[in-house]
Amino acid sequence: MPLYTNVGYVPALMSGVPFAVWENELAKLLQQLYPSRQVALPPLRQTSMLSVDGQFDGDPGAFEVDVQVAVVDLDANYQTIASGNITTVDAANFTFHMDVLTCALFARLLMRSLENNVNVTAYLTR
């Protein structure tokens, strides 16, 4: 799958509908820092839950996926949320999950490091 940083539009998350931001992508071979497709977070209330779910197709080894948010959709505006560094997976099926309360209008994931050449799939849900 291609890197989605310049698609010309930002898809909006619908409440309760998972949106694939990485789809079976081999981030290790593409670049050191690998951002996912960014999504718009339509405000549901003042703060809303954002869920992150992901799975590697094998043992990722040492890795870091950051949950990042922004109020304005510019690359330089995305910041990792407090305690938003995912560095562990379930040992049996290589999955990760995080729930986040946020007022931000945009979100994405950022693969900061990945030791092994494995594919990753990840979803954001509002």
Domains of the chain: 19-125 (2.60.120.680)
Q: What is the pTM of this model?
A: 0.88
Q: What average pLDDT does this structure show over 42-68?
A: 88
Question: Is the model's pLDDT at 30 over the cut of 80?
Answer: no
- pLDDT at residue 12 in the model: 87
Confidence band of 33 (pLDDT split at 50, 70, 90): confident
Would you say 53 and 122 are in contact if contact means Cβ atoms under 8 Å apart? Answer: yes
- pLDDT at residue 46 in the model: 66
pLDDT-wise least confident of 65-69, 81-85, 86-90, 113-117 = 113-117
Q: What average pLDDT does this structure show over 90-108?
A: 94
- pLDDT at residue 120 in the model: 94
Q: Which residues contact 22 (CB under 8 A, 6 or more apart)?
A: 1, 36, 37, 54, 109, 120, 121, 122
Q: Phi-psi region for residue 84, left (φ > 0), alpha (ψ -120 to 50) or beta?
A: alpha
Q: What average pLDDT does this structure show over 47-63?
A: 92
Question: Is the model's pLDDT at 84 over the cut of 90?
Answer: yes
